[in-house]
Amino acid sequence: MGCVRVVVVAGGIGGARFLRGVRAAIPDAEVTALVNTGDDLTVHGMRVCPDLDTVMYTLGDGIDRARGWGRDGESWRVKDELAAYGADPAWFGLGDLDLATHLIRTRMLDAGYPLSAVTEALCARWRPGVRLLPMSDDRVETHVLVDAEPGPADAPRTGGGRRAIHFQEWWVRHRATLPAYGFVQVGLEAAKPAAGVLDALATADAILLAPSNPVVSIGTVLAVPGIRDAVRAAPGQVVGLSPIVAGAPVRGMADACLTAIGVATTAEAVGRRYGSRAWADGVLDGWLVDTADAAARVPGVRVEAVPLLMTDEAATTAMARAALTLAGV
């Protein structure tokens, strides 16, 4: 038999850590990380891909491990200078080391290279040990519907208009505290899967959905026209890992995203949202939940419970091994 092939659908921090576990759990496998680019944005004229960079830096040992994003030993001199000029946005965490990545990416994109080729070029330095694929070479940017004029938190809601702000503005600047009424993915309908994505899904022995944000990370990847169908049609087993443990997100503010789309913040509700491959639109064969959520049931899906906290490398590797086992690899 040939080399085992695994595709991991991933967002940023959680997806990156999980990918380290997969790499450790099955070192000889050919792993493809299919990464969300819906958080991408252009700041100060530079194209920034937060999730791709987090995965690249994490697997390339360049990440700030304590913070989970950005470069180890980072500084913020350019950001402070831009603020001294009064340049917007001042809230985005633009590190000096990180900035070099954005400059090279922007220059290559401007020269006509697709994002997948740019990512490959950047990875020539970082050698992440997995193949990094953006979900799409086309721009898809997630926006969040919020109140047009947010008043004080205790003010009566006036029922006035809504406005859409970039996901990063909602997430980073407002720490997901502005009530969200939905997500609008600009560019999604016209987006195509990046070169290599459909082929990776069609030849994978297993497809894992990392314990990333189910709405704005995994949900966005699956919403790229063609990707959900390719996952549903894939010959390999599809196993997801719950990012919700005991009714709360393990990290990040996924609860705010789930609330916005009317899904409860439970491992069971997220599993049901993904749904069984046996039924229309579902993508799961297996659903891995934390031992705290062992009672979760998802119709048509094998649910298993193991510890799902990525507290250290060993715990993360064990999670990855459990997911691969559930997928029959």
Is 46 a binding residue for a second copy by CB under 8 A? The answer is yes
User: Which stretch, 104-112, 160-168, 239-247, 310-318, contacts a second copy (CB under 8 A)?
Assistant: 104-112
Specify whether the CB–CB gap between 241 and 271 falls below 8 A: no
Specify whether the CB–CB gap between 44 and 94 falls below 8 A: yes
Is 48 a binding residue for a second copy by CB under 8 A? The answer is no
Q: Write down the least CB distance from residue 102 to a second copy, Å.
A: 10
Mind giving me the DSSP string for 298-315? -TTSEEEE------SHHH
Return the CA Rg of the chain. 19
Q: Which of 2, 27, 45, 262 binds a second copy (CB under 8 A)?
A: 45
Is 106 a binding residue for a second copy by CB under 8 A? The answer is yes
Is 72 a binding residue for a second copy by CB under 8 A? The answer is no
Q: Which is nearer to a second copy, 87 or 314 (CB)?
A: 87
Q: How many CB atoms lie within 10 A of CB 175?
A: 10
User: Which stretch, 100-108, 144-152, 167-175, 240-248, contacts a second copy (CB under 8 A)?
Assistant: 100-108
Q: Write down the least CB distance from residue 70 to a second copy, Å.
A: 13
Is 64 a binding residue for a second copy by CB under 8 A? The answer is no
Structure tokens at 74: 């980072």
Is 112 a binding residue for a second copy by CB under 8 A? The answer is no
Q: Write down the least CB distance from residue 133 to a second copy, Å.
A: 20
* E runs forming strands in 72-223: 131-134, 141-147, 162-166, 183-186, 206-209
Q: Which of 7, 9, 99, 222 binds a second copy (CB under 8 A)?
A: 99
Instruction: Show Cβ contacts of residue 85 under 8 Å, excluding neighbours closer than 6 positions.
Output: none
Q: Which is nearer to a second copy, 101 or 213 (CB)?
A: 101
Interacting residues with a second copy between 285 and 314 (CB under 8 A)? none
Q: How many chain residues are in contact with a second copy, going by CB under 8 A?
A: 24
3-state helix, strand, coil in the chain (%, to 5): 35, 20, 45
Specify whether the CB–CB gap between 241 and 285 falls below 8 A: no
Q: How many CB atoms lie within 10 A of CB 97?
A: 15
Is 86 a binding residue for a second copy by CB under 8 A? The answer is yes
Q: How many CB atoms lie within 10 A of CB 292?
A: 16
Is 127 a binding residue for a second copy by CB under 8 A? The answer is no
Q: Which residues bind a second copy (CB under 8 A)?
A: 44-46, 75, 77-78, 81-82, 84-87, 96-97, 99-101, 103-104, 106-107, 110, 122, 125
